[in-house]
């Protein structure tokens, strides 16, 4: 009897150790495909398995330019700056002199290049004249234009281009200064290059941001996300509120109060697409939709270490992706919703996966089983939020709409040494990026809208979408 008890105890220990090994393997295998880690954190030295890791499916199209797609080519200019005639001096057959021979044919070939030297800055002088009245003797001075508020200053175009490099192309201040000076013939200082971002942010805070926030708050579907940034030696959070055509960002901590400080969600009553962060749970007046790709990554983190013992997670992944396929097909057909049969099938697969998961995780106290049970409780409790994209086809499967604008702060941080020197610099960057992101979504050239900002004021979107009247 003692031997049997000893064998049983060792068997239980082996099961527990197997679970711990699987959990440790899962921890070591975490990357951007099965967790919230960014792709940039994936090791370039670890060979990926041959099995497809992405939830995307192949389109079947060949790589590169697609058949029938319009091509692009350089066109000849009608008024070239220089024309150089190249004529043969001697005959290629007999060697005879061709100096007086008639022209048989001529080809036009052109080379497009930058000028040999950087252009000289265009200087506009305003002479502000004062005149004395012959009747009363009063002296009246003409009003100087706003663009010439001081003795010498830079104009809106150079401000726009510097801001464009710093905020639109994520160049560090000193590199942006070097580019401007080398290509445009200026001698701007690093201080000026740093100041234009703040100037742009102040111009946007009064008109653009309140306008865009009000539009997002009126949208039927909107997206939220947050990402970590480091400024002044501490972790901060960049918050994104956006739609397909609008973006508003702000900086704070990760609290519910900081989320509300963006000025959007307290008055929003539509569907909010987000990840699983509980900081949005206090928004009870909205319908919540959980990003499907976040859920797929969480499921793969459980399934990959033990595909047989956690088969339910693979079943749930297939259910979510099947729902996404059905939703895409319904939109392509112009339908407003899935059929009752399609929805019933998804419900059956969904509950079947959960039932299988509880059977597979009845026992086991190792970290992998604990993580699986946590995930099962999440799917059990939040089905409506998870499958929102199947009952409302205006809701997308992913939260990429919010995640893409948030990447800008990561790119800028990486090019600038991994941290923002000042918190205000991060705040100003978020404001300017809100403007550039929105303009890009509307199909506007970002340099043009920055010139607009520094001349007549910010460009403003007139509605939720460009198609709206």
CA distances from 19 to 25, 302, 361, 367, 371 (A): 10, 12, 11, 7, 11
Question: Encoding tokens for residue 260?
Answer: 């509300």
Q: Residue 36 above 80 pLDDT?
A: no
Q: What is the 3-state secondary structure (H, E, C) of 201-214?
A: HHHHHHCHHHHHHH
Closest CA to 153 of 189, 183, 120: 189
Q: Residue written as tokens 């607009």?
A: 452
* pLDDT value, residue 9: 73
Question: Encoding tokens for residue 38?
Answer: 């960014």
Overall size of the chain counted in residues: 469
Strand duo 271-274 + 221-231: pairing: parallel
Of the listed ranges 59-73, 248-262, 439-453, the least confidently predicted one is 59-73
Q: Residue written as tokens 């099961």?
A: 15
Q: Name the pLDDT band for 70 (thresholds 50, 70, 90).
A: confident
Q: Residue 228 forms beta bridges with which residues?
A: 237
* pLDDT value, residue 51: 46
Question: Encoding tokens for residue 51?
Answer: 């099995």
Question: Encoding tokens for residue 167?
Answer: 């905020």
Q: Name the pLDDT band for 147 (thresholds 50, 70, 90).
A: confident
* pLDDT value, residue 38: 57
CA distances from 21 to 107, 305, 308 (A): 73, 9, 15
Give the SS3 label for residue 43: coil
CA distances from 79 to 76, 82, 285 (A): 9, 9, 63
443 secondary structure, DSSP code? T
312, 354 contact by CB (below 8 A): yes
* pLDDT value, residue 104: 87
The phi and psi torsions of 130 (rounded to 5 degrees) equal: -110, 140
CA distances from 90 to 44, 95, 98, 99, 101 (A): 59, 5, 5, 8, 10
- What tens digit of pLDDT does each residue of 414-468 get? 888 888 889 999 999 999 999 999 999 999 999 999 999 999 999 999 999 998 6
Look at phi and psi of residue 445 and say left if phi exceeds 0, alpha if psi is from -120 to 50, else beta: beta
Q: Name the pLDDT band for 2 (thresholds 50, 70, 90).
A: confident
Of the listed ranges 27-41, 244-258, 442-456, the least confidently predicted one is 27-41
65 secondary structure, DSSP code? S
Strand duo 271-274 + 287-290: pairing: parallel
Report percent pLDDT > 90 for the chain: 57
* pLDDT value, residue 35: 59
Q: Residue 60 above 80 pLDDT?
A: no
| Mean model confidence pLDDT for the chain | 87
Contacts of 304 (CB under 8 A, 6+ apart): 26, 29, 34
Q: Which helix (H) or strand (E) holds 226?
A: strand 221-231
Of the listed ranges 143-152, 355-364, 409-418, the least confidently predicted one is 143-152
Q: Residue 347 above 80 pLDDT?
A: yes
Strand duo 287-290 + 221-231: pairing: unpaired
Q: Residue 43 above 80 pLDDT?
A: no
- What tens digit of pLDDT does each residue of 76-112 get? 888 888 898 889 889 888 888 888 888 888 898 888 8
* pLDDT value, residue 50: 44
The phi and psi torsions of 142 (rounded to 5 degrees) equal: -65, 150
Question: Encoding tokens for residue 89?
Answer: 């001096």
Q: Residue written as tokens 């579907």?
A: 221
CA distances from 189 to 175, 176, 235 (A): 11, 10, 30
Beta strands in 156-213 (DSSP E): none
């Amino acid at each position: 009897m003692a031997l049997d008890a000893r064998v049983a105890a060792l068997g239980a220990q082996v099961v527990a150790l197997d679970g711990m090994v699987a959990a440790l393997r899962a921890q070591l295998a975490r990357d951007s495909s099965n967790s919230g880690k960014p792709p940039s954190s994936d090791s370039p030295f670890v060979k990926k398995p041959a099995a497809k890791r992405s939830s995307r499916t192949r389109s079947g199209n060949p790589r590169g330019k697609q058949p029938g797609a319009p091509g692009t080519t350089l066109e000849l200019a009608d008024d070239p700056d220089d024309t150089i005639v190249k004529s043969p001096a001697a005959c290629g057959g007999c060697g005879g002199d061709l100096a007086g021979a008639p022209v048989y044919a001529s080809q036009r070939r052109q080379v497009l290049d930058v000028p040999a030297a950087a252009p000289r800055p265009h200087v506009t002088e305003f002479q502000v004249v004062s005149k004395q009245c012959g009747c009363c003797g009063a002296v009246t001075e003409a009003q100087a234009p706003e663009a010439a508020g001081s003795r010498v200053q830079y104009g809106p175009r150079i401000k726009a281009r510097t801001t464009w490099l710093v905020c639109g192309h994520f160049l560090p201040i000193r590199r942006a200064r070097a580019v401007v000076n080398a290509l445009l013939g200026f001698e701007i200082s690093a201080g000026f290059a740093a100041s234009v971002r703040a100037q742009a942010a102040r111009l946007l805070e009064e008109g653009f941001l309140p306008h865009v926030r009000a539009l997002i708050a009126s949208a039927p579907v909107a997206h939220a996300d947050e990402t970590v940034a480091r400024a002044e030696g501490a972790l901060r959070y960049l918050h994104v509120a956006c739609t397909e055509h609008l973006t508003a960002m702000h900086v704070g901590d990760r609290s519910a109060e900081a989320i509300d400080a963006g000025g959007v969600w307290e008055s929003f009553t539509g569907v909010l697409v987000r990840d699983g962060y509980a900081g949005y749970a206090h928004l009870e007046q909205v319908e919540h939709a959980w990003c499907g790709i976040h859920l797929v990554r969480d499921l793969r983190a459980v399934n990959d270490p033990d595909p047989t013992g956690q088969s339910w997670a693979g079943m749930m992944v297939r259910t979510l992706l099947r729902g996404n396929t059905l939703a895409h097909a319904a939109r392509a057909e112009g339908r407003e919703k899935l059929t009752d049969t399609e929805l019933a099938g998804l419900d059956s697969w969904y509950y079947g996966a959960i039932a299988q998961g509880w059977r597979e995780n009845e026992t086991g106290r190792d970290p992998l089983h604990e993580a699986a049970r946590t995930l099962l409780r999440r799917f059990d409790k939040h089905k409506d939020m998870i499958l929102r994209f199947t009952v409302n086809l205006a809701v997308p499967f992913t939260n990429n709409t919010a995640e893409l604008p948030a990447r800008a702060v990561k790119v800028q941080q990486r090019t600038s040494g991994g941290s923002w020197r000042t918190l205000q610099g991060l705040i100003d960057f978020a404001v300017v990026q809100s403007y550039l992101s929105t303009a890009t979504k509307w199909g506007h050239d970002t340099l043009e809208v920055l010139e607009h900002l520094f001349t007549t004021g910010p460009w403003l979107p007139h509605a939720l979408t460009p198609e709206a009247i």
